[in-house]
Amino acid sequence: MTAVHSTRMLVLGSGPAGLSAAIYGARAGLSPVVVQGIQPGGQLTTTTDVENYPGFREVIQGPWLMEEMQAQAEHVGARMLWDTITGVDLSERPFKVTGDSGATYVCDTLVIATGAQARWLGLDSEERLKGQGVSACATCDGFFYRGKKVAVIGGGNTAVEEALYLTNHSHDVTIVHRRDSFRAEKILQERLFAHHGITVLWNKEVAEFVAGEGTAGLVALDLKDTVTGEHSRLDVEGGFVAIGHHPATELFRGTGLTLDKDNYIAVRPGTSLTNIPGVFACGDVMDKVYRQAITAAGTGCMAALDAERFLQAADFPVPEDEAAGHPIDVAVEHAG
C-alpha cells in the first residue's frame, strides 16, 4: 500500500519558516500537511541558547523553541509527517511530490521551507567545539562573547558583515581570510577597513581550533599561512565560520523553479512568490541576507498568506473532508 496525501497546502520543512507557514495556513482553514525532512525543527535544533527570539525574557533553548512551535502548529490543525522528499513535479497543478517512504503528496499550493545549512571547514576540532566557542552565526551568538577576543573566518559579504557586527560586542575582532583580497562588496570592505577594532589576517587558513584545559572551550586558532606554510597562533574565545551556506534546493533542479546564482530560490521582492504560480518559498532557502529564526518565521507567515490569497483567487473547490478540517488521505495499492 502506498499513501497518497492530498492537501490544499503542503509545507516542505519544519524550521521556524515551515512551522509558521503551517500555523497561519491551519488558522486559514487550509489544513496544511508539513513534511519534516531529515532534521525536524531545522537549524535551531542544533543550537543551544536562544536570546533573540521575541517573547521570552529568559534565555531559551533552540530545541525547546522548535518543539513548542511544532506543538502550536499541531494544536491549530497542521499535520506533521516525517519523510525525505525525493521527487517534485511542478509542471502542473495539483503539484506532486514523492517521498522516500513511498508516499505521494498532492497539493494545490506548495510552500518550500527547506532551509540552508552553514558550510563548515570540516575539522574535527571544529566539530568538537561547536557551541563552545565555534559558531556559524555571529548575529545569533556574538552577544555571548561580550568583551572577548573573536575571529571571523571567510572573505565574502557574510564574513565582513559578521566582523562588523561583532564590533558591537568586542573591541578585538580579527578576520582571517585564505587569500589576499576579499570577495565582499566594496562598500562593506570600505566599512571594514575604516573600523579600528578589526584586524585583517590575509593568506591564513585555520589548521585547528584549539581547546583550553578541561571545559574551557575555544582558546585559540592554529593558523597556517597559505603562502609560506608557517603556523601561528591567534588567541580568541570565539571563532565564527562564515564561508557560505548551502541552500537545500537540489530537489528543485530541473523542475522549472528559478534559483538565483547562489542556488537560493528566487522570489518576487517583498513576497514569497516564486516564478511558478502556487509555489511559495520562505526562510533560509530564499534569504541569504538575514538568516534569523524571526525573519524565517516572518517569511513563513508571508508564504501562508500568499498561498491563501492564491487559492482564493484561483477559486479552487474545497474538498468536503477538508472543509470539515481534515486533510484527505487516500491509500492506494502499489502499481507494481
Catalogue the active-site residues.
137, 140-141
* Binds ligand NDP by CB under 6 A, chosen from 83, 108, 161, 308: 161
CB-CB contact of 1 with 333 (8 Å):
yes
Residue 332 binds ligand NDP (CB under 6 A): no
Min dist. Cβ of residue 231 to ligand NDP (A) = 16
Cα separation of the two ends of the chain: 10
Q: What are 86's three cell numbers?
A: 525525493
DSSP state of 316: P
Stretch that binds ligand NDP, among 21-29, 51-59, 147-155, 214-222 (CB under 6 A): 147-155
Per-residue x/- marks for ligand NDP, 258-297, CB under 6 A?
----x-------------------------xx--------
Cα(330)–Cα(104) distance, integer angstroms: 10
Nearest-CB residue for ligand NDP: 156
CB-CB contact of 50 with 44 (8 Å):
yes
Cα(97)–Cα(104) distance, integer angstroms: 6
Min dist. Cβ of residue 247 to ligand NDP (A) = 10
Omega of the bond prior to 94 within 30 degrees of 0, cis? Answer: yes
User: 332: which strand partners?
Assistant: 2
Residue 121 binds ligand NDP (CB under 6 A): yes
CA distances (Å), origin 188, targets 191, 195, 282 = 5, 11, 26
* Binds ligand NDP by CB under 6 A, chosen from 20, 109, 135, 158: 158
Site for ligand NDP, residues 196 to 215, rule: CB under 6 A: 205
Q: How many residues bind ligand NDP (CB under 6 A)?
A: 19
Stretch that binds ligand NDP, among 157-165, 194-202, 217-225, 324-332 (CB under 6 A): 157-165
* Binds ligand NDP by CB under 6 A, chosen from 75, 146, 171, 183: 183
Residue 157 binds ligand NDP (CB under 6 A): yes
Q: Which is nearer to ligand NDP, 69 or 164 (CB)?
A: 164
Site for ligand NDP, residues 68 to 107, rule: CB under 6 A: none
Stretch that binds ligand NDP, among 68-76, 129-137, 156-164, 231-239 (CB under 6 A): 156-164
Q: What are 72's three cell numbers?
A: 502550536
Q: Which is nearer to ligand NDP, 154 or 239 (CB)?
A: 154
* Binds ligand NDP by CB under 6 A, chosen from 179, 231, 268, 309: 179
Min dist. Cβ of residue 66 to ligand NDP (A) = 24
Min dist. Cβ of residue 288 to ligand NDP (A) = 4
Per-residue x/- marks for ligand NDP, 297-326, CB under 6 A?
------------------------------
Min dist. Cβ of residue 188 to ligand NDP (A) = 8
Min dist. Cβ of residue 87 to ligand NDP (A) = 28
CA distances (Å), origin 208, targets 176, 205, 217, 234 = 13, 9, 13, 11
Cα(166)–Cα(240) distance, integer angstroms: 10
CA distances (Å), origin 247, targets 113, 115, 116, 256, 265 = 10, 6, 4, 17, 8
Min dist. Cβ of residue 232 to ligand NDP (A) = 16
Q: What is the DSSP string of 105-169?
A: EEEEEEEE---EEE-----HHHHHHBTTTEES-HHHHGGGGTTS-EEEE--SHHHHHHHHHHTTT
CA distances (Å), origin 160, targets 37, 180, 201, 307 = 32, 14, 13, 36
Can you give the length of the chain in residues?
336
Taking the CB of residue 39, how many other CB atoms lie within 10 A of it?
Answer: 17
Site for ligand NDP, residues 221 to 250, rule: CB under 6 A: 243-245
CB-CB contact of 223 with 118 (8 Å):
no
Binding site for ligand NDP (CB under 6 A): 121, 153-159, 161, 178-179, 183, 205, 243-245, 262, 288-289
